Chain A
């Protein structure tokens, strides 16, 4: 299976392990990733906060390049990137009159043939292959944390359920994990305030970590680089808001499934987390065997 790939900037930097684990896992699942040529930043939160026009134009350039490269589907593992790409597509559907002007600015045409998919969607399609490749079940209780941008706004992303999504829980179960029922699945982590209002990111993260720990989760599982860095890199700020500091690790869903399929922890970038993955990763033994 051939699939377009838009890693986005975070996956080249602070969330390298999301890129590494996505590539390693999809390779094991026999998916060929074709990177969108000369891709640019999607603009993330900053473009739409300051310049709504730019927030449409930046993602459209990426989609136009993907289309020119003959890619019908593009996987954007970063939830913010996939959300921005989908928002730009919705904008074009709602305002077809703006298309010509943006195309002129880009110097590229865009017919709108590219489908944008997130990592949970792609893995959901590959359940048969995942089960066939299972080595050691990931036998841990985890809190599947979706954050905002994978499921909201529902009319933009058209994915799963906005209040109580299940797709990641289903993947965790598929590889032997036990997802806890908890009410913070789609609460915001503080997103782009990480650098400027670290105090608020600590406060919001503390609500998530506290509840996950109280429900007996051994790890938080995410599918968004911003969720990950706010829960992992920002753990000191979170712990400052907690009654007892927590060392609960935060894993990407691609790492969880990769471990269960016997991939090497190193190949999945597990060593890059600032909060160490403390429980014995159940896939590690099989990976080395």
Chain B
């Protein structure tokens, strides 16, 4: 007898991913090529193919584990996995969607808060000036993360090499750039 798999997966919750992306999870046949090629595979708590299996089972406790995993924030978006995936699963895109959802539901793994702080400081700086100014970015990151002493010895060396410009680079039409930010990246 053939078992009908409901669109929501075998479990009870609504899929985290949008339907088109969620459907691609079914293509994964657990070969593990993504984990083998991943430069940070050894650092992750769950390999990409394990995450896909946890998601498609659809049990809320497994989904929680995925959203609270370190893997989704360690992913470098280098696309090695998706380039080698025999089933053409767009793994980096799935990771992006999981990060957004982990943030939205406030499930970020405590060990990865610094990474989120960095991304937020980055986007804050872009919203402010339209361009990235590294002095702004580092200052913003230090404020958010509390790592005030990080790379203190690197800054003067960079300054001497002309790599740390103190001039603020900005776009003229900053209103135009800000209009593209539909929602605040929030605190953290």
Task: Assess whether B131 is interfacial by the CB under 8 Å rule.
Answer: yes
Of the listed stretches A117-125, A147-155, A172-180, A277-285, chain B binds A147-155
A276 to B40, CA, bound (A): 29
Judge if B45 is at the interface, Cβ distance under 8 Å.
Answer: no
A32-60: CB near B (< 8 Å → 1, else 0) gives: 00000011110111111111111101100
- Given that A50-B185, A195-B138 are contacting pairs, would A41 and B163 also be in contact in the complex, using a CB cutoff of 8 Å? no
Known A48-B96, A153-B82; contact A190-B131, beta-carbon cutoff 8 A: no
Interface stretch of the complex, out of B47-55, B58-66, B112-120: B112-120
Contact A58 B179 (CB under 8 A): no
- Chain B nearest Cβ from A60, distance in angstroms: 9
Per-residue 0/1 for A170-205: is the Cβ within 8 Å of any B Cβ (1 yes, 0 no)?
000000000000000011101111011110100010
Question: Cβ of A14 < 8 Å from any Cβ of B?
Answer: yes
Give the A-binding residues of B (Cβ under 8 A): 39-40, 43, 74, 76-80, 82-83, 92, 96-97, 99-100, 103, 114-120, 122-123, 126, 130-134, 138, 141, 145, 150-151, 154, 157-158, 161-165, 169, 171-173, 176-177, 179-183, 185
A195, B133: Cβ atoms closer than 8 Å: no
Q: Distance in Å from the Cβ of A147 to the closest Cβ of chain B? A: 8
A58–B134 CB distance below 8 A: no
Instruction: List A188-229 residues whose CB lies under 8 Å from chain B.
Output: 188, 190-193, 195-198, 200, 204
B76:A40 contact, CB within 8 angstroms: no
Quick check: B141 and A52 within 8 Å, CB to CB? Answer: no
A16 to B134, CA, bound (A): 12
**B180 pairs with A50, CB closer than 8 A:** no
Is the pair B39, A204 in contact by a Cβ cutoff of 8 Å?
yes
A163 to B92, CA, bound (A): 18
Query: At the interface, yes or no: A289 with Cβ under 8 Å from chain B?
Result: no
- A45-B77 in contact (CB<8A): yes
- Residue-by-residue, is A12-46 near B (CB-CB < 8 Å gives 1, otherwise 0)? 11111000000000000000000000111101111
> Given that A188-B39, A195-B118, A196-B118 are contacting pairs, would A14 and B164 also be in contact in the complex, using a CB cutoff of 8 Å?
yes
A190 lies within 8 A of B76 (CB): yes
Minimum CB–CB distance from B140 to chain A (whole Å) comes to: 11
Are B158 and A233 in contact, CB atoms less than 8 angstroms apart?
A: yes
For the complex of A and B, the 6 pairs showing the least CB-CB separation, nearest first, are A9-B132, A46-B122, A188-B78, A148-B78, A46-B119, A152-B79
The answer to whether A58 and B40 touch (CB under 8 A), given A16-B163, A107-B176, A271-B161, is no
User: Is A106 a contact of B131 with CB atoms below 8 Å?
Assistant: no
Of all chain B residues, the one with the shortest Cβ separation from A47 is B123
The contact size tier of chain A is 35 or more
Contact assessment for A191 and B100 in the assembled complex, using a CB-CB cutoff below 8 Å: no
Contact assessment for A61 and B78 in the assembled complex, using a CB-CB cutoff below 8 Å: no
Beyond A44-B122, A148-B78, A187-B80, 8 additional contacts (C-beta under 8 Å) are A9-B132, A46-B120, A51-B100, A107-B179, A188-B39, A196-B145, A204-B39, A233-B154
> CB of A272 within 8 A of chain B?
yes
Interface centre among A49, A148, A152 (most CB of B within 10 A): A49
Chain B residues near A197: list those with CB within 8 A. 74, 114-115
- CB-based nearest B residue for A55: B96
Partner of B103, one of A50, A105, A163: A50
Q: Tell me which residues across on chain A come within 8 A of B165, comparing CB atoms.
A: 12-13, 16
| CB contact between B185 and one of A51, A61, A153, A271 (< 8 Å): that residue | A51
Question: Chain A's nearest CB lies how many Å from the CB of B117?
Answer: 8
Q: Hey, which chain B residues are within 8 Å of A272, CB to CB?
A: 161-163
Contact of B83 among A40, A152, A191, A204 (CB under 8 A): A152
Interface centre among A40, A52, A108, A195 (most CB of B within 10 A): A195
Mind listing 23 A-B residue pairs with CB under 8 Å?
A13-B163, A14-B158, A38-B171, A40-B131, A46-B118, A49-B119, A50-B100, A50-B120, A51-B183, A53-B182, A54-B123, A54-B180, A54-B182, A61-B180, A106-B179, A106-B180, A149-B78, A153-B82, A154-B83, A188-B39, A196-B114, A200-B74, A233-B163
Question: Is A69 located at the chain interface by the 8 A CB criterion?
Answer: no
| Inter-chain contacts of B181 with A (CB < 8 A) | 51, 54
